[in-house]
Structure 1
Amino acid sequence: MTHLKTLYLERNRLTGQIPDLNLASLGAFNVSYNLLNGSVPEGLRRMPASSFLGMPLCGGPLGPCPGEISPAPAPGQALAPGAHSSSSGGGGGGGGGKKLSGGAIAGIAIGSVAATLLVLGLLLLLCRRCGGKGYNAKDAAVAEMALKDKEVVGAPNGYGGYGAARAAPALAPAAAAAAPAPPSGGKKLVFLGPGPRVYDLEDLLRASAEVLGKGTFGTTYKAVLEMGPVVAVKRLKDSNLPEREFRDKIGAVASLDHPNLVPLQAFYFSKDEKLLVYEYVSMGSLSSSLHGNRGSGRTPLDWVARSGIALAAAKAIQYIHSTSPKASHGNIKSSNVLLSGPSEARVSDHGLAHLVGLAAAPTRASGYRAPEVTDLRKISQKADVYSFGVLLMELLTGKAPAHAVLNDEGVDLPRWVQSVVREEWTAEVFDVELLRDQHVEQEMMELLQLALDCAEQYPDKRPTMSEVVVRIEEIRASSLGSGERRRQQNGHETIESADRSSSMISELQAVGF
């Protein structure tokens, strides 16, 4: 690690003493709020005191340890008390030393006063925010989740970037402990469904958190609870619904029960914070699997996996549509399709379009939005079908909708696919990982045609999700059958070749060879 420049290890419950890391390139270091003890090693004493907060440490920037001799003053620094200058000027040299010492003391004092004023200013600002809003300790702790967006570096877009972000501190830093105890009627985590209540809001706020991604409706965190469970927490943005209406809409979302939907476990509601707690799906998202690192060691998504994922997602959306003529998902995209098995998937973020207040007309930059949609809160079932058609194209082409280009001009994925098919160089449209399955070319073409039907410009021309599910099932059955037939055909060809070889040998032997 000789080239290591940054090392952040705060809030990881590390124990023991800090090893002497002799890393000359290290410029940023932090082990605050662990369970470490002892003294700061020599190699790290150049770091500021803020790198070692919340622990019984000593040495270096934290002051000398008990029994430790203070380092000798450097040339030009103040003389030790009682020492006298050898200058014949009646203490002139000593007087100069005393002036330097006084400046150092003044600098320390000014720094301390400035830090104190900063802390007081922050406390005053927090108090002014709390005044008239009814904030309690839990609300203040939940509000600090907003800071995690700035603390995490390299966070990917969408839910699917598992493990790509640096672990952030606990959801509730020391603010919760410093705030007064909440009243008995304070807000609580509301659980949904018959599942066990193995954690509460305090457990959730103490959990270590990691940003999974930032989406249309808010930021999603992976929260590792102290007692072991791992959950996904979505912090909604732009949600200003009254509590009763919010609870009614959340109840409708929680009532959806399908094996290909990610279940909503609980929610938290206050005037300024809304949290949704989901079951955590550990295999990541379709987006990260398609567009993540394609280097060595990656398991490619073949035809069986991709067609299975398409069928699972289609069944989830069909189920949502079956609950009501106006029921829709509202935000279908590859980062909301989470992989639960090699060819299985679960759809997340269903129903959230009805919980936020996006009054402004959205752009079509995401590439999944149907052309008739001008308000994210007004998503129809036919608009869901359009988004699913784009998702099918993404599965088949391996291209993200926002990144499909033609002649260096940005275009949306449906138009790019249509242009390729129109030019009759259709093989170019498929992901190279799919071209290895040459025996299912016909089935891939049929699924591509279904994607184009779903992404028709006019809603009335698009199929229903029930029709989509039936067609995908037929395509998958056909592909599995053609694969079996091909294996059998290969077996027959091998036998016939062996018979021909045996017959040829007999004929050659008969004529004297």
Structure 2
Amino acid sequence: MMTHKRAYYCIFILFMLFINLEPTFGDTNGQILIRFKSFLSNANALNNWVDEANLCNWAGLLCTNNKFHGLRLENMGLGGKIDVDTLVELTDLVSFSVNNNTFEGPMPEFKKLVKLRGLFLSNNKFSGEISDDSFEGMGNLKRVFLAGNGFNGHIPLSLAKLPRLLDLDLHGNSFGGNIPEFQQNGFRVFDLSNNQLEGPIPNSLSNEPSTSFSANKGLCGKPLNNPCNIPPTKSIVQTNSVFSTQGNGKKNKKILIVVIVVVSMVVLASILALLFIQSRQRRRSEQDQPIIGLQLNSESNPSPSVKVTKSIDLAGDFSKGENGELNFVREDKGGFELQDLLRASAEVLGSGSFGSTYKAIVLNGPTVVVKRFRHMNNVGKQEFFEHMKKLGSLTHPNLLPLIAFYYKKEEKFLVYDFGENGSLASHLHGRNSIVLTWSTRLKIIKGVARGLAHLYKEFPKQNLPHGHLKSSNVMLNISFEPLLTEYGLVPITNKNHAQQFMASYKSPEVTHFDRPNEKTDIWCLGILILELLTGKFPANYLRHGKGENSDLATWVNSVVREEWTGEVFDKNIMGTRNGEGEMLKLLRIGMYCCEWSVERRWDWKEALDKIEELKENDGEDESFSYVSEGDLYSRGATEDEFSFSVTDSQADKFGNVTG
């Protein structure tokens, strides 16, 4: 009888435990987040974590298509405990950022979050050693930012073994010991500066910038100008020992002579081999020069104004291509052959991430631009030809027409029309004496928006119809009408190269989550608008943009939100009469276009409509009127309308996208 009672009692206890556990089984994301918040201190910034129906409007939540996927709890003064066991229940969590808060103590066990792609803990008060297995199982992790904390001990081996790691920032800690061998070869962001690391830098990291290792007194080897001391080899030590312990007999003299002869021959052979390698490299470099009748000067970054005086015949190199001829994609743009292009006088326009760009003046023919591309092996020959024909069929007054292409397996050459007034970037940031007025800038941005809208219509199924929109890819014709170039190349470009250099891949949704969408090119349009208005070069275009103001959108937002000043607009257009209100409207449009949140970012139709409404002069009936400094919101805009934010960790890590 007692046995049955005990059995019933055990069943009752198990039932009650099940009842008590039931409320937390299958909790919604909102309930889980509220439980996570309960472990935090100073969480006043999260007071709107109440209404689950509007979850994506909660402070610090990241959503795409109204679906939660990340937490960005930055600059909120948060402290307390990061309860990873609660975060594990958020099955869609792929990014976690608490940059610039007051969390302290050892690093939590984030390895439980196996789906995490981005981990951002910079500028807190974390301390202590990070165990070697702290990143085991985190195969999806691409970005790790632990800068500005008090971590010590050696860099964990599991961190170095992450297979997909692209960005790593550990600067400003107290890490010591040797740098481990990292599995990745080539990072977008890599910074170990201001630590206590020592020993030789691994060969796999020798191509990283020297600034990545600065302020580590014990480090040596490339890329630092601090060679490592190489101890003498065992054979030399033994030989020296022989000579020191034996006299000056004839036998030792013979051995000494033999050693000297052998060493001399080895040194001589090494010198000859070095000269031979340098000669081969020089010859290979010469063979790698531009295909048309020109030759680069010895400078690594040729000036756009450098004209080439010596022609070289590379017809033989062209004949090695698969078809050995130019493939024209526009019937109205023919009239010259490959040999005409080879003999054309030419000058260097620039050298960028894809290759060099040249201006060629065909004898008794047109002036064209030849662009060399070395990273277009994403599709086969037939697909490449079909895509080129599609690009050649595009006709719009704000698209630089593609004339022809030349196909080789290793590299491709695209021939475009020539923009007489160079690129927009050269006028905004170069030494060009022409000052762009407000009316000209407005005309340019309207043309850019129209050209981009046309690409959206022609490529409705592509997330990135342009993919590389920036000021150096906006050419200007004789009347300063803008002409977009390097458009539509994402489908045929190697993804690894695109991720490092193409402008659209520097957007927040791609750098954080590797998710380009139909609004990503609009982010590029927003950055271009801010660049046009401020005259400032966006560090978004750089591969290793760093510093507080490295992101143009962040800088503009901080100035506008804190206090209206004349610093926002380029001084060359500040003197425009009756145009300040329209400039302010365009500034607002630009900020909406480069919203960090994809949901709040405008789409291309809304952006185009708002840009088309702009006028050269302010109208009397306009709701936006320019007033004195310090009164932003009396211009007809609310704080919410101007509010947008960019993650600090993302804002200073955008990668090189030059030309």
TM-score (norm. length: structure 2):
0.46
Q: Structure 1 residues 234 and 202 mapped into 2: Cα distance closer, same or farther (>3 Å)? A: same
Q: Which residue of 2 aligns with 1:440?
A: 579
Amino acid at match of 1:432: K
The yes-or-no answer on 1:166 pairing with 2:271 is: no
Local SS of the residue matching 1:439: coil
Give, in whole Å, the separation in 1 of the partners of 2:291 and 2:342: 10
| Contact 1:358/1:375 (8 A) holds in 2 | no
1:310 aligns with 2:451: no
Name the CA distance, whole Å, in 2 between partners of 1:213 and 1:184.
24
Distance (Å, rounded) in 2 between the aligned partners of 1:303 and 1:232: 28
Q: Equivalent residue for 2:208? A: none
**1:393/1:414 contact within 8 Å kept:** yes
The residue aligned with 2:457 is 322
Q: Which amino acid aligns with 1:442?
A: G
Task: Report the counterpart of residue 357 of structure 1 in structure 2.
Answer: 494
Structure 1 vs Structure 2 CA RMSD: 4.0
Per-residue CA deviations over 1:309-334 (Å, capped at 9, x if unaligned) read 00000000000001232331000000
Alpha-carbon distance in 1 for matches of 2:338, 2:510: 37
Work out which of the two has the higher radius of gyration on C-alpha atoms and give 1 or 2. Answer: 1
Deviations 1:160-196 (A, max 9, x none): x4xx2232533xx2453xx599699942101112215
Is 1:369 aligned with 2:506?
A: yes
Partner of residue 248 from structure 1, selected from 386, 408, 428: 386
Q: 1:368 to 1:339 in 2, by over 3 A?
A: farther
1: distance between equivalents of 2:534 and 2:306?
27
Tell me if structure 1 keeps the 8 A contact 2:399–2:485.
yes
- Which residue of the other structure, out of 407, 424, 427, is the alignment partner of 2:566? 427
SS in 2 for 1:429: coil
Query: How much has 1:358 moved relative to structure 2?
Result: 3.4
Aligned length: 340
Q: 1:357 to 1:408 in 2, by over 3 A?
A: closer
Matches within 5 A, 1:211-360: 211-240=348-377, 241-293=379-431, 298-327=433-462, 328-359=465-496
Residues of 2 paired with 1:324 and 1:367: CA distance? 16
Distance in 2, Cα, partners of 1:142 & 1:365: 24
* 8 Å Cα contact 1:265-1:279 kept in structure 2: yes
- What is the rounded CA distance, in whole Å, between the counterparts of 2:555 and 2:367 in structure 1? 40
Q: CA deviation at 1:461?
A: 1.5
Q: Find the residue that maps to 2:390 and give its secondary structure.
A: helix
Q: How does 1:460-499 map to 2 (within 5 A)?
A: 460-476=599-615, 479=618
Q: Residues 174-222 of structure 1: CA distance to partner in whole angstroms, max 9, x if unpaired? A: 453xx59969994210111221521111111222222211233322111
Which residue number corresponds to residue 251 of structure 2? none
Distance 1:423 1:269 in 2: 53
Instruction: Summarize the Cα distance change of 1:149–1:143 in structure 2 as closer, same or farther, 3 Å threshold.
Output: closer
SS, match of residue 453 in structure 2: helix
| 8 Å contact kept, 1:401–1:413 | yes
Query: What one-letter code is carried by the residue in structure 1 that aligns with 2:441?
Result: R
- Cα distance in 2 for partners of 1:468, 1:235 equals 32
Equivalent residues of 1:313, 1:346 under 8 A apart? yes
Contact 1:238 1:358 in 2 (8 A): no
> AA paired with 1:267?
F
Of 147-156 and 215-224, deviating more is 147-156
Aligned partner of 2:324 in structure 1 is 187
2:302 maps to amino acid: A
Deviation (angstroms), 1:428: 1.9
Percent identity, please.
36
Letter in 2 for 1:311: K
1:478 shift after superposition: 5.9
1:438, distance to aligned residue in structure 2 (A)? 3.5
Q: Does 1:209 align with 2:339?
A: no
Matched to 1:389, the amino acid is G
Give the secondary structure class of the aligned counterpart of 1:226. Answer: coil
> Structure 2 vs 1, CA of residues 378 and 151 (structure 1 numbering), >3 Å: closer, same or farther?
farther
> Judging changes above 3 Å, is the alpha-carbon distance between structure 1 residues 377 and 195 closer, same or farther for their aligned structure 2 residues?
farther
Structure 2 SS opposite 1:259: coil
Residues 506, 540 of structure 2: 8 Å contact kept: no
Distance 1:329 1:256 in 2: 13
Gaps of at least 5 residues in structure 2 are 1-271, 626-659
Partners of 2:515 and 2:326 lie apart in 1 by: 29
1:395 to 522, 526, 532: 532
Q: Which has the higher helix share?
A: 1
Q: 1:501 maps to which residue?
A: none
CA contact (8 A) 2:469 2:503 kept: no
